[in-house]
Amino acid sequence: MLLSHYQDILLEAGCDEAGRGCLAGPVFAAAVILPPGFKLRGLNDSKQLKAEDRTRLRKLIEEKALYYAVASVDNVEIDKINILKASFKAMHLALEQLRQQPEYIIVDGNRFQAYGNTPHACIVQGDGKYASIAAASILAKTYRDEYMQSIHADYPHFGWNENKGYPTRQHRNALREFGETPFHRKSFRLLPEQLELDLG
């Protein structure tokens, strides 16, 4: 059972991102503030859930959360500032959009760039421990998946409707055959053979 909050004194937001390991598309992040004692059957780390369960839970999260927001940073910005900074920026953008600013932030993972003077805690595998981080992971994942689905029709060879921009065999084979799209992250090693080219 996930814990509803990390601490019970300050208004707390959970944050998580989706899409850091992708070769194409934006990185998305969400911030979620849940009511005290929040419980939702089936809520878990988005990576542990089926797509239909994520969709169902997203609707319930959006209905029951006190506040939530989702933001993204596109591949062009990722190439400029690097994926780690882009992930932090997406989280900050989501936090800024909350109608009520949190007094405490919990973040999935072991690194975070401080959001103003708001205290925070980094929690490794936090999306499997705390409800607000799990909820943020589901929102970030479902919003990002919808975005990749929306651009799939223009670049069907890459299979983004299924792989969502992650480096699957189909995605990399399409890169070899058709080359990069405007949505690819040029700062990433898109193909394994690029390492050999870089060393040559």
At 193 the pLDDT is: 65
2, 125 contact by CB (below 8 A): no
- What are the chain's domains? 12-152 (3.30.420.10)
Report the C-alpha gap between 102 and 106 in whole angstroms: 10
pLDDT profile of the chain (200 residues), mean per 10: 92 97 97 94 88 95 97 97 97 98 97 97 96 97 97 95 94 94 93 55
At 46 the pLDDT is: 86
Cα dist from 64 to 36, 89, 110, 118, whole Å:
11, 26, 28, 24
